[in-house]
């Protein structure tokens, strides 16, 4: 999740300090590199590199940069490893234009090949440069700038926001599709950014462009036009009253709640990326030919691997062994070889247990691939190739959007291995939005009812078993209550003795598992348990359970993915009700780099 900021003034001034300050206000979004460009007297000054804002600014003396227009960008790598050449902003072939983007252009590889075939100078692997060349293509064919942008918009697939300027122009141009963008109006300047925090200290008068709109920024005014027909659009300014802290959290009280609500958007971006990725089919072929196939992870990533193994069996008829990374070393590593394939899963790409397992697997010659959120991390560099999760920065320690995108990736790969059309997966983001809207009030009420309990269980079966494990982990992480996730059919083999009057037990029911879940519900209900069922609408479940938390109808695999959302919300509300900060639970770290 990159951050961009553009600034236009009517006179030459010291833009470096303005760009540095704007970049620093966007660092909470996460990044691996930073850059700045200024335009002055027909010349472009571009300085960028891998590193933090303060170190790159000091190394390249960004504070001294002057001009009438400026752009800064914080990059979170997806296309192209973190490097100086892949850092943004980017120039066009001749160095007459400079631009930067936030988001993912999923047909980046295809467009780069086209641009090189057309004789353009392509310097990086980054899709931010692709946005610049997409405009350049039509400028070189004689189109006016607005029309060039309109045509480039049609070529760029994915979700992004983009800002671009020319050396011999007094304006900046910005346009968006799917990613955030906001325009600020100040005294003698205008600005544009991917997010409000970089704008608010400068002005609180803003315009919020919509998808398919182009904004032209002069120093004293802005103009909004439609990509579709180029006609001008009247968009009235508004005044922002929220505090900086509230704005960084998107108006939510905690980052965890914000990130729960971001899951639909990052899932949409991931599906677009996978559709356009040249790495997916080679990975599928390797997995098809593998003697044994392993999904290896820890904690939340292991739960996603378990869900993936169920998907592969149910959809593609392919057995997969999901295994905790340390146990892989003891249980499987001595027996694996070059005929075996492993996918190593880590949100940070730095999880020590996973890297240890990777080292053990590679020592035996196993073919190793990765799935991580941080491009350029140790895992992405150490494996044959690594699919990115496209979640941007996840600030809250409890994983939410990184977990769902791991599950979405495994579901996507299972579809591809089964030869099923992945077009069906495009509905998942909308179903996620519907789920949160449907369950939010009921979950908050249930959280209040059961919050006094410090022991509970979360039970599932089949595809919902790993979801039950993940829901239980979330409750443990941020409520500090003991919640055990279990296979529902195992509950009678011992834990049933813990049930007393009012004892809360959450069941996660797949559409094909209702009779089995009903048996489990009654097994504990007759002993006094409070039964909470997360499932699609079903008269049998409603008749047997105490609470039915209804999620939208889908299929057995998507059902499991949607079912985790109410469990995330349940853990969030119980944590807040107990007076804890769900973003930073005690004793836990976002990246576990120790054994």
d(CA 564, CA 203) in angstroms, rounded, equals 40
Angstrom distances, CA of residue 560 to CA of 326, 432, 460, 534? 26, 11, 10, 10
Specify the pLDDT at position 374: 81
Question: For residues 258 and 247, is the Cβ–Cβ distance under 8 A?
Answer: no
Mean residue pLDDT across the chain? 93
- Which of 198-207, 272-281, 321-330, 351-360 has maximum average pLDDT? 321-330
Specify the pLDDT at position 589: 64
Q: What is the mean pLDDT of residues 517-537?
A: 94
Query: 435: which 2 tokens?
Result: 């789920």
Task: Tell me, yes or no, whether 415 lies in a domain.
Answer: yes
Same domain, 503 and 518: yes
Specify the pLDDT at position 395: 86
Mean pLDDT lowest for which of 114-118, 239-243, 268-272, 370-374? Answer: 239-243
Specify the pLDDT at position 1: 54
Same domain, 78 and 198: yes
Q: What is the mean pLDDT of residues 231-253?
A: 85
Coil, strand or helix: which one is 221?
A: coil
Same domain, 318 and 442: no
Phi and psi angles of residue 427, each rounded to the nearest 5 degrees, phi first:
-80, -15
Of these residues, 52, 286, 476, 590, which one is catalytic?
590
Confidence band (pLDDT; 50, 70, 90) for 26?
confident
pLDDT of residue 154 exceeding 60: yes
**Residue 195's domain spans which residues?**
3-248
Number of folded domains in the chain? 3
Question: For residues 548 and 555, is the Cβ–Cβ distance under 8 A?
Answer: no
Residues contacting residue 214 through CB under 8 Å, at least 6 positions apart: 146, 149, 150, 153, 173, 174, 175, 224, 225, 226, 227
Task: Tell me, yes or no, whether 526 lies in a domain.
Answer: yes
Q: What is the mean pLDDT of residues 480-496?
A: 93
Task: Tell me, yes or no, whether 592 lies in a domain.
Answer: no
Specify the pLDDT at position 173: 97
Q: How many CB atoms lie within 10 A of CB 341?
A: 24
pLDDT of residue 595 exceeding 60: no
List the CATH number of the domain containing 161. 3.60.20.10
Task: Tell me, yes or no, whether 431 lies in a domain.
Answer: yes
Q: What is the mean pLDDT of residues 434-461?
A: 97
d(CA 104, CA 75) in angstroms, rounded, equals 11
Same domain, 237 and 311: no
Same domain, 13 and 93: yes
Same domain, 56 and 176: yes
Same domain, 7 and 149: yes
Q: What is the mean pLDDT of residues 422-447?
A: 97
Residues contacting residue 423 through CB under 8 Å, at least 6 positions apart: none
Question: For residues 96 and 167, is the Cβ–Cβ distance under 8 A?
Answer: yes
pLDDT of residue 51 exceeding 90: yes
pLDDT of residue 567 exceeding 80: yes
How many angstroms separate the first and last alpha carbons of the chain? 29
Same domain, 455 and 572: yes
pLDDT digits (tens, 9 = 90+) for 507-523: 999 999 999 999 999 99
Confidence band (pLDDT; 50, 70, 90) for 195?
confident
Query: 262: which 2 tokens?
Result: 């971001």
Task: Tell me, yes or no, whether 211 lies in a domain.
Answer: yes
Same domain, 72 and 117: yes
590 is catalytic: yes
Q: Which of 390, 420, 450 is the last residue of a domain?
A: 420
Strand order in the sheet with 66-75: 43-50, 33-40, 66-75, 3-14, 189-193, 182-185, 205-207, 238-239
Q: Which of 248, 263, 278 is the last residue of a domain?
A: 248
pLDDT digits (tens, 9 = 90+) for 95-130: 999 999 988 898 999 999 999 999 999 999 999 999
368 is catalytic: no
pLDDT digits (tens, 9 = 90+) for 341-383: 999 999 988 888 999 999 999 999 999 999 998 877 889 888 9
DSSP codes of every residue in 177-205: EBS--EEEE-SSEEEEESSGGGTTTT-SE
Task: Tell me, yes or no, whether 413 lies in a domain.
Answer: yes
Confidence band (pLDDT; 50, 70, 90) for 148?
very high
Confidence band (pLDDT; 50, 70, 90) for 90?
very high
Same domain, 571 and 516: yes
Task: Tell me, yes or no, whether 593 lies in a domain.
Answer: no
Computed on alpha carbons and rounded to an integer, the radius of gyration of the chain in Å comes to 25
Of these residues, 2, 298, 368, 458, which one is catalytic?
2
Task: Tell me, yes or no, whether 590 lies in a domain.
Answer: no
List the CATH number of the domain containing 310. 3.40.50.10490
Confidence band (pLDDT; 50, 70, 90) for 188?
very high
Strand order in the sheet with 341-346: 321-324, 293-297, 341-346, 367-372, 386-388
Q: What percent of the chain has pLDDT over 70?
A: 98
Q: How many CB atoms lie within 10 A of CB 423?
A: 10
Query: 535: which 2 tokens?
Result: 């499932």
Specify the pLDDT at position 352: 87
pLDDT of residue 593 exceeding 70: no
Same domain, 39 and 168: yes
d(CA 568, CA 498) in angstroms, rounded, equals 24
Q: Which of 402, 420, 438 is the last residue of a domain?
A: 420
3-class secondary structure per residue, 366-393: CEEEEEECCCCCHHHHHCCCEEECCCCC
Same domain, 176 and 196: yes
């Amino acid at each position: 999740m990159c951050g961009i900021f553009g600034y236009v003034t009517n006179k030459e001034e010291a833009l470096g300090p303005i760009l540095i300050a704007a970049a620093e206000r966007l660092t909470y979004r996460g990044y691996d590199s930073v850059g700045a460009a200024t335009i002055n007297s027909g010349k472009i000054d571009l300085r960028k590199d891998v590193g933090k804002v303060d170190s790159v600014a000091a190394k390249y003396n960004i504070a001294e940069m002057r001009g009438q227009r400026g752009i800064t960008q914080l990059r979170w790598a997806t296309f192209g490893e973190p490097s100086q050449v892949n850092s943004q902003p980017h120039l066009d072939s001749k160095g007459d234009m400079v631009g930067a983007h936030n988001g993912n252009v999923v047909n980046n590889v295809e467009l780069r090949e086209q641009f090189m075939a057309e004789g353009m100078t392509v310097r990086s692997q980054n899709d931010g440069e692709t946005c610049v060349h997409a405009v350049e293509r039509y400028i070189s064919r004689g189109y006016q700038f607005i029309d060039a942008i309109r045509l480039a918009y049609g070529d760029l697939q994915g979700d992004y926001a983009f800002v671009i300027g020319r050396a011999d122009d007094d304006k900046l141009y910005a346009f968006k599709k799917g990613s955030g963008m906001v325009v600020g109006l100040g005294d003698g300047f205008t600005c544009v950014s991917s997010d409000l925090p970089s704008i608010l200290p400068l002005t609180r008068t803003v315009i919020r462009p919509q998808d398919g709109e182009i904004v032209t920024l002069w120093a004293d005014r802005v103009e909004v036009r439609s990509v579709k027909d180029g006609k001008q659009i009247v968009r009235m300014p508004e005044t922002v009253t929220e505090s900086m802290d509230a704005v960084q959290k998107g108006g939510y009280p905690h980052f965890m709640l914000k990130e729960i609500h971001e899951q639909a958007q990052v899932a949409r971006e991931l599906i677009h990326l996978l559709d356009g990725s040249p790495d997916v089919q080679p990975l599928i072929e390797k997995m098809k030919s593998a003697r044994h196939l392993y999904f290896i992870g820890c904690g939340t990533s292991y739960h996603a691997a378990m869900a993936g193994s169920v998907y592969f069996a149910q959809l593609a008829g392919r057995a997969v062994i999901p295994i905790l990374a340390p146990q892989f070393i003891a249980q499987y590593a001595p027996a694996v070889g070059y005929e075996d394939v492993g996918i190593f899963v880590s949100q940070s790409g730095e999880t020590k247990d996973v890297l240890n397992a990777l080292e053990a697997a590679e020592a035996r010659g196993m073919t190793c691939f990765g799935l991580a959120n941080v491009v350029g991390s140790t895992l992405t560099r150490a494996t044959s190739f690594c699919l990115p999760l496209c979640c941007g920065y996840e600030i809250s320690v409890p994983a939410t959007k990184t977990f769902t995108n791991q599950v979405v990736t495994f579901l996507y790969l299972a579809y591809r291995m089964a030869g099923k059309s992945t077009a069906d997966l495009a509905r998942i983001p909308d179903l996620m939005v519907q789920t949160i809207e449907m369950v939010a009030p009921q979950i908050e009420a249930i959280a209040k009812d059961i919050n006094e309990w410090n022991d509970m269980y979360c039970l599932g079966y089949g595809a919902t078993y790993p979801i039950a494990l993940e829901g239980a982990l979330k409750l443990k992480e941020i409520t500090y209550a003991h919640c055990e996730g279990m296979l529902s059919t195992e509950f009678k083999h011992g834990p049933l003795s813990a049930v007393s009057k009012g004892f809360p037990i959450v069941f996660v029911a797949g559409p094909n598992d209702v009779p089995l879940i009903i048996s489990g519900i009654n097994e504990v209900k007759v002993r006094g348990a409070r039964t909470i069922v997360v499932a699609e609408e079903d008269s049998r479940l409603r008749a047997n359970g105490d609470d039915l938390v209804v999620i939208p109808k889908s299929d057995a695999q998507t059902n499991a993915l949607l079912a985790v959302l109410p469990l995330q919300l349940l853990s969030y509300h119980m944590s807040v009700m107990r007076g804890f900060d769900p973003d930073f639970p005690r004793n836990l770290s976002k990246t576990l780099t120790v054994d």
